[in-house]
Amino acid sequence: MAYKIVIPARYGSSRLPGKPLALIGGKPMVWHVWQRALETGCPASDIWVATDDQRIMEAVAGFGANVVMTGLHHSCGSDRLAEVAAIRGWGENEIVVNVQGDEPLLPAGMIELAATTLAADAECGIATLACPITDMAQVMAAQCVKVVTNKAGQALYFSRAPVPWARDHFTSLQQEGVMPDSPSAHWLRHIGLYAYRVNTLMALSHLPPAPMEQLESLEQLRALWHGIGIAVATVEQAPPHGVDTPEDLARIQRHFDTGLIPAQ
């Protein structure tokens, strides 16, 4: 099936400025992400890097990828994708996968799965991924975003809290102060990879933030608040962690030097 891939690559980062240009195995990080996109089989003409910085634009053009300059004003990733879709004149039913520019180890199969999941669900405007949580500490951790789905595999809610709340189990847990070794099969960890229909991107770019989005600090809750369906495909495990900090960068640089998959 045909779809587009957009790789947002911002220069500004509070923890790692200029990270799309950070060298990994002698190549800028954004080059590695572009390679993952090419591994999907998606034509190079349908893969675009979106940046707000001339230095990144020149680097991307230098290794032969398509690049488009976007504004500095975007508050979220979906707004930047909407600008790219408008600049390129993509049709309202086209599917666009957002592949973050700091995910050099993202498996190509996950990119494809996001696109095919959305194509298969006409009720939804967005698709994303999730995996089972096998560690109870992650169920309780705020940085591990949980997703609850209905029987059709569509998102009901995303939260940093341990949802669904196992009333009897967690009440006992709180009283006894004991953390079980592993949870049951009720909890799914959200993987922040998204596919959108272009008309959904355009709609989202004009919608105000939702109260629960601001409360949880989770952008995807804006879509649910406004009635936009999100299809969720489940995979066995999450991809290797992306690059947020200098420590993350060093770990991934070691991966490319040694061939070892970095720890999560």
- pLDDT digit string (tens) for 104-140? 999 999 999 999 999 999 999 999 999 999 888 888 8
Q: Pick the residue with more confidence: 174 or 195?
A: 195
List Cβ neighbours of 84 (8 Å cut-off, separation of 6 or more): 6, 48, 50, 68, 70, 96
Phi/psi class of residue 89: alpha, beta or left (left: φ > 0; alpha: ψ in -120 to 50)?
Answer: left
259 versus 95: the higher-pLDDT residue is 95
Question: Which amino acid appears at position 139 of this protein?
Answer: V
The predicted-structure confidence for 183-194, as pLDDT tens digits, reads as follows 556 899 999 999
Q: Where are the domains of the chain?
A: 3-124+190-258
Question: Which residues on adjacent β-strands are paired with residue 124?
Answer: 229
Contact assessment for residue 156 and residue 150, using Cβ atoms and an 8 Å cutoff: yes
Position 172 scores a pLDDT of 57
What pTM, to 2 d.p., does this model score? Answer: 0.90
Q: State the CATH architecture for 3-124+190-258.
A: Alpha-Beta Complex (3.90)
- The dihedrals phi and psi of 31, each to the nearest 5 degrees, come to -65, -45
